[in-house]
Structure 1
């Protein structure tokens, strides 16, 4: 491939739909608030396991939360 694929996400929007703070979501999925913030801003890409846990916690399909 000639172009670099950058993983993007709709995590913040999905979190706000559920009326959750970053801290509340972090506690639900077992990570720090900083991790949630870093994922939302694209600084950190979650592992497959964490991405799926986030999908379950937010009741979203993977492709609704993460995209290129």
Structure 2
């Protein structure tokens, strides 16, 4: 048993996601998403925190639920915050 496992710490997944943003944007609770994709609501919380990496099947069910392609929901690199994507600073020299 590793030291982390002995202390009860979870291994963080290297798969990032936008689940909490998508749920908030669409007014979907963890319980509603969980029921739609066939998992426990606690699993959705683990996914959102990065404490659990979904199976390919679960990831695809989630993408299907939100009607979005995989790369819009999951990524191997952290997502750029939406506010930075939508409101980029104006380049004063590029007017």
With normalisation by structure 1, the TM-score equals 0.88
Q: Which has the higher contact order (CA 8 A, sep 6+)?
A: 1
> Where does the alignment leave 5 or more consecutive residues of structure 2 unmatched?
1-12, 77-95
Which structure has the larger Rg?
Answer: 2
Partner of 2:75: 67
> Where does the alignment leave 5 or more consecutive residues of structure 1 unmatched?
none
Count, aligned residues: 64
Partner of 1:35: 43
- SS of 2:58's partner is helix
Displacement of 1:53? 0.1
Counterpart CA distance in 1 for 2:26 and 2:52 is 22
Counterpart CA distance in 2 for 1:26 and 1:14 is 14
Partner of 1:48: 56
Does 1:58 find its partner at 2:73?
no
Where do 4+ consecutive residues of structure 1 move more than 3 Å?
Answer: none
With normalisation by structure 2, the TM-score equals 0.64
Root-mean-square deviation over aligned CA pairs: 1.3
